[in-house]
Amino acid sequence: MKKKHLSNSTHSQTVEDVLEKLSSDINGLSEKEAKNRLEQFGVNEIPEKKGRHPVLIFLKQFHSILIYILIIAAVISFFSGDLIDVYIIVGVILINAIIGFVQEHKADLSIQALKKMIVLHAKVYREGELLQIAARELVPGDIILLEEGDRVPADARLFEIKIFRTVEASLTGESLPVDKDIKILPEKTALADCKNMVWMGTFVARGQAKAVVTATGISTAFGKIAQDIEKIKRVKGHFKEKTDKLAKQMGIIAAIGSSVTFIVGFFIRGFEFLEIFLFTLASLVSGIPEGLPAVLIIVLAIGAYKMAKRNAIIRTLPSTETLGVVTVIITDKTGTLTENTMNVEKIILLGEAEIAVSGKGWVSSGSFFQEEKIIHPLENPSLTKLLEIAAISSDAELLREKDRYEVIGDPTEAALTVLAEKAGLKKEKILEKVKEIDELPFSRELKCEASLLIFPEKSKRKEIYVVGAPEVVLNHSIHVFENNKRKKITQKQRKDISAQIEHLTKKAMRVLALAYKEVPHHIDDLSEDLISKLVFVGIVGMKDPPRPEVKEAIAKAKKAGIRVVMTTGDHKGTAVSIAKEIGLIGKKTKSKYPEALTEQELLDLSEKEFEDVIKNVSVFARLTPNMKLRIAETLQKQGHIVAMTGDGVNDAPALKKADVGIAMGIIGTDVARESSEIVLADDNFASIVNAIEEGRIVFKNTRQASSFLITTNFAEDVTIISTLLLGLHLPLLPTQILWLNLVTDGVSDIALAAEPGHGDVLEEPPQKAKEGILSKEMIPFIVLMACIMVIFTLFIFNTYLPQGIKKARTVAFVVMAFTQLFNVLNMRSLRKSIFKIGFFTNKYVIVSLLVSIILLVMVIFIPFFQNMFQFVSLSLVELLLIFTLSSMVFWFGELYKFIKK
């Protein structure tokens, strides 16, 4: 039996206690003990989940009530000798299965993706000797060495560090490198705030550290996420529920219709058993729209294609429709609502008006404004000095990849690099005239960094450039650089600078102060005691700005009845500031609910209070994976359809649990992408709202195409049953009914699947998740249209019956066909008049109508088909009369929409 790993509270214990509990010391384990522990704890890997076999994925596509009904219809057709219908039905079923298989072949690879993030090797001390071993052989109690560029091989407690920073964005959501220390923390400290811990799969951004391994494999923070992902079962897709329900409804309607047909025909009208039996079978098969699965999957495929054009890549087709009923979007902040960059936006110099800096992202183009006028930065001595300090103090690099930049190093330093380059200053150019001879890296104790420079052209003058926390730099300053002169700092200036710092901080900006000092010629090395008696130059305020289109997108979401919830690993103040800027929350009111809550504040609530807060608060900060999952689950319990966005490993459980998981394509991890149904190609929140708009169009088109099929089949069934009840001749033969379905249903339903949006889907609240494709609102319209078709068909049939049964059936066939084709125009919108949306805005409908008319004319006028279907030719006058009469379906539809509106 394997031992348990150390508890999750190692951050609240002394290093000595942790080592004692792990039976280890700072020299590390012996090889023998490490081998024993490897057997006890198991290898440092996340168990791999077996993927589904492709054959099983293919067979799964046939697991649908609608497909079962079509298979029954194919069997009936086969035994009744109608092989053409068998081929059509089998073809539709196979096409449906193939499209579904292609979409789902990329099975859930979340666990395998997690494994890709695990390092292959680790540096470990065994009996005081530093070795490099396979990371999978690490065990609790091992002492590991971590250096810049390393990926952390296991969860570990730090005990010796040297200016140590890690990047934990993939695990915690924290966008900036995290400064680490070895201080003991309170037991209830959130994972993102455990500064004395490092986590498997994160990586070292700067410095060096030693740590004792506390958890490996499945017991690490990553491993627990893997377990959460594996345990989570996706809810049954809303689209599958709706199609199953529709299939049952249509199957019942077809069964009832055919049963009534047989009973009336055999028992009341006295038809021969074989004759009425074959007719009933034809009626049953025609009553089941074999084209419906193809139409549904084409609607989804068209929606997926349109979403892809709007930067939302669909991984599972049914998600296109589910998006249309989303009521809540849970979104991360960094990179989705914001640019995922750091831009210096404000500069404060002593004795001058505030300077604003334009430009977005990592592009070094922008302007400097003072009192709303463009200034030339290098003409201002104080600004030039500040920009030189900014350039020299940054070690970050910007690499351009196609149309975007990748930052190598600290994003804060990258912002300083970009700021200097906007003024035309590049570090390498400055270093051609000035030599950097030493540097003092940033530390949590000092809260600043420094560079020692020598100016060869100016009598070997030496200066120290300092960048750091503004309050620290200000406290170490005794002079200010003002109007190109060094002046002794006054108490008033200190207060003014402090006020400016507070002003920028309240705007959720990261504020840095820049200073310098001259030092004697003999100084060649930097030390902390030299960071004193500085000349204060100025401060800069930087932030990760919101994406410009996000504010409008959130307004559109709100108008569409969709609530937006921000969940971030960032700090509460930053989250609230961004939320206000983008219109997610308004100005502070006297509401009993806070503007935002952290995870720790949520943990202090009772279950009832928690549920109440989730209903009313839209910003949550400093969250761990479990809390994101809990928020998603709570919203689902409250009846919401949840779309969840995310990019990191920490988001994966909630992405999988959400009704629609949306991963970031650029900054997202493999784990997040493989746990999602949709991937955003541009990581942009606005693309989510665009995708929801397309999702609503998908739902609308699904409903309209299905309504069209139901109406045509219902009209045909009622026509047959009515003639049997009234003791009339059958107006249509079985073969004529099957050809009628090909003429009207065959192409028109697909054309309706391609109906574009009419610009109003986001002006309505979301459809209820449980609302079926066939809604109560549609039934009156379907019944009305079907009744008009039946009345006109029977009227024209009886009118022409004295001229012979063939003539009467021919005109009845043409009337039924034309009324159904006119109904295609009605079904383009169940609310808007076609005069408003335009006759030619869906070119596919025009093409489908022309194809249907050609097929119709072909069987009426070509002798071969006339004999096959027992039709006769019609005169032009008769065709015009039929066309005019049939068009009444269209005008009744327009009248219905007008009255309802």
Residue numbers annotated as active site? 332
Q: What is the DSSP letter of 207?
A: E
Handedness of CA 762, 767, 772, 777 (dihedral sign): negative
d(CA 643, CA 327): 8
d(CA 451, CA 467): 9
Q: Residues 843, 847, 848, CA angle at the centre, nearest 5°? A: 115
d(CA 286, CA 720): 12
d(CA 336, CA 667): 10
Buried b (16+ CB within 10 A) or exposed e, 47-68: eebeeeeeeebbeebeebbbbe
Tell the burial category of 81 from Cβ atoms under 10 Å away from its Cβ (0-12, 13-18, 19+): exposed
d(CA 690, CA 762): 10
Q: Name residue, tokens 């994101």.
A: 628
Show the tokens assigned to 678: 């949709």
- For the chain, helix (H) and strand (E) counts, in that order, are 33, 28
Contact 683, 667 (CB under 8 A): yes
d(CA 122, CA 135): 5
- Check residue 345 and give left, alpha or beta (phi > 0: left; psi -120 to 50: alpha): alpha
d(CA 414, CA 159): 30
696 CA to centre of own chain: 16
Show the tokens assigned to 142: 């091992």
Contact 739, 869 (CB under 8 A): yes
d(CA 308, CA 306): 5
Contact 722, 795 (CB under 8 A): no
The DSSP bridge partners found for residue 536 are 480, 515
SS3 27: coil
Question: In 807-869, at which residue ranges do the beta strands (DSSP E only) sit?
Answer: none
Q: Name residue, tokens 């020692």.
A: 452
Amino acid letter for position 440 = L
